[in-house]
Structure 1
Amino acid sequence: MLNEARAMDRAAGRFPKVQVAVAPPATLLWRTREAVELIGVGGQDCHAKDSGAFTGDISATMLKDAGADFTITGHSERRTLHGETDADVKAKSESALAAGLSVILCVGETEAERDAGRAVDVVSGQLEGSCPTVDGAAEKLSIAYEPVWAIGTGRVPSIDDVAAMHAAIRERLVAIYGAAGAEVRILYGGSVKADNAAELLAVPEVGGALVGGASLTAESFLAIVGAAASLNAD
């Protein structure tokens, strides 16, 4: 993992217009921060409380002390496997912001919810319940749309579906934050790979990618970074 991070960091210098970051396991966060200079480093989750009797949990302050720039909140696996509610995700996001971290907040529908025609309603509800509402929240917030049924499966929504969902997310963010909501970055996550990254990143309102399995090797991850760079070329 550290060698891969170092390789990504060295390569990031070739892509100055692309913001690159990794979220290693918590046990490697500090060592990753020491190993890299050009890329961001973040946590995969944080606890909603800054301190207390929560053995085994990691607070946002701990992440910050370990060198994190940001944390992910609301990942579908946390929502599904750990039963996290929208209120839980909101509390974690606000704790992270209070600790000085940026937040990548994940939302997304299940296959059953999409098949039932409820995808936009589900995601809009998650945004309403999960988005932090403290002062200045929008300035340090990114939203990651990750359709649950596409994560790690190799399946990807159609370009039209991605465009429609990202437009709906933008509309909801503006409703929540006003003009500041128009500036919140919206990422796409869900089986993003080198061979589909350019097409996905070119979709209106897609401001980046939350990469899963393809981020495990520097070669595959940097191919995605390269695709982003090609879209930003003057």
Structure 2
Amino acid sequence: MKYLIAANWKMNKTVADTLEYLELFLPSVKDLFEIEIMIAPPFTALSSASIKLDTAKKEGEYNVKLGAQNMYYEEKGAFTGEISPLMLNELQVDYVILGHSERRHIFGEKDELINKKMFSAIEHGLRPILCVGETLEERELGKTLNVVEAQIRKALAGIEKDMQFLDIAYEPVWAIGTGKNATPGQAEEVHKFIRSLINEMSKGNDDKTRILYGGSVNENNAGDLIKQPNVNGFLVGSASLDPERFYKIITKVLEV
């Protein structure tokens, strides 16, 4: 199981910014196949990024996948402002991030909606990255594992047999964009719990589902975090906006 290092740019970078970034970043990861790399730009830049990555792969050996930051579960219809899985398929998108805490807490997405999106993504050949994590209040009350378990069970209800087609990202809400991050020990505790939960829900697939850590990952803490037995990669936010910083995180993973 290869490590997955994924970049979530959130609402950052224009089309021009995206192309400039890839121009700088791609040469540094040419012929790099030991790990998997994914970049999720905003929807407006997906098409240009797709073309750029496709061109790069024709000119050399690249293993950079394209991801989307969200999607709706229907293929088409009167859903103003939404993006369907068919639209992502057309752009050769490989991954889709679902259930991110910003979608949950800012836009009010519930586990039932996330479950429908998970079903749809897998059905349409997209590999979802399911985000789970607790708030600071929930951690202080000792509810971390209960919250994470509830989110996973609800989001994956009915698709337990498809665990090998998805990844899970543990992102403590209190560590996203705050500059704070879970200690390697805190991260490993939750990741180990998630691994055992996956094994219970889908026997034999616990080693096919990667568990990523997200929450203020940067080039300084990546080395210690990735050494944990059940940390299989990262979902990187702000540090991925700079191609040099993102590449430094990748190098830390390659050193393990």
Bin the TM-score by the shorter chain: over 0.9
1:163 matches 2:188: yes
Range with greater deviation from structure 2 (185-194 or 9-18): 9-18
Deviation per residue, 1:44-96 (Å, 9 max, x gap): 00001112210110011111112211100000000111111111111111111
Deviation per residue, 1:110-143 (Å, 9 max, x gap): 0000000000110011000012634852122000
Identity, in percent, stands at 37
Decide whether aligned partners of structure 1 residues 150 and 135 sit closer, same or farther in structure 2, where only a CA change above 3 A counts. Answer: closer
Higher share of residues assigned helix? 1
| SS of residue in 2 equivalent to 1:223 | helix
Structure 2 residue aligned with 1:47, among 45, 59, 72? 72
Partner of 1:176: 201
Structure 2 residue aligned with 1:82, among 107, 112, 115? 107
Decide whether aligned partners of structure 1 residues 78 and 208 sit closer, same or farther in structure 2, where only a CA change above 3 A counts. Answer: same
Cα distance between partner residues in 1 of 2:135 and 2:198: 21
| SS of residue in 1 equivalent to 2:223 | helix
Cα distance between partner residues in 2 of 1:73 and 1:180: 20
Structure 2 residue aligned with 1:6, among 23, 39, 57? 23
Cα distance between partner residues in 2 of 1:188 and 1:132: 22
Partner of 2:212: 187
Partner of 1:28: 45
Give the conservation status (yes or no) of the 8 Å contact 2:161–2:202: no
Decide whether aligned partners of structure 1 residues 199 and 135 sit closer, same or farther in structure 2, where only a CA change above 3 A counts. Answer: closer
Cα distance between partner residues in 2 of 1:135 and 1:162: 23
Partner of 1:131: 156
1:65 matches 2:93: no
Give the conservation status (yes or no) of the 8 Å contact 2:160–2:202: no
| SS of residue in 1 equivalent to 2:25 | helix
Runs (4+) off by over 4 Å:
none
Cα distance between partner residues in 1 of 2:23 and 2:118: 28
Cα distance between partner residues in 1 of 2:161 and 2:21: 34
| Count of paired positions | 231
1:15 matches 2:46: no
Cα distance between partner residues in 2 of 1:68 and 1:7: 21
Cα distance between partner residues in 2 of 1:132 and 1:198: 34
Decide whether aligned partners of structure 1 residues 222 and 132 sit closer, same or farther in structure 2, where only a CA change above 3 A counts. Answer: farther
Partner of 2:15: none
Cα distance between partner residues in 2 of 1:96 and 1:223: 31
Could you say what the CA RMSD is over the residues aligned between the two structures, in angstroms?
1.3
Partner of 2:12: none
Give the conservation status (yes or no) of the 8 Å contact 1:200–1:206: yes
1:209 matches 2:234: yes
Decide whether aligned partners of structure 1 residues 73 and 132 sit closer, same or farther in structure 2, where only a CA change above 3 A counts. Answer: farther
The aligned amino acid for 2:191 is: H
| SS of residue in 2 equivalent to 1:42 | strand
| SS of residue in 2 equivalent to 1:179 | coil
| Structure 1 residues not aligned, in runs of 5+ | none
Cα distance between partner residues in 1 of 2:162 and 2:86: 17
Normalising by structure 2, what TM-score?
0.87
Q: Return the structure number with greater relative CO, CA threshold 8 A, min gap 6.
A: 2
Partner of 2:221: 196
Give the conservation status (yes or no) of the 8 Å contact 1:150–1:190: yes
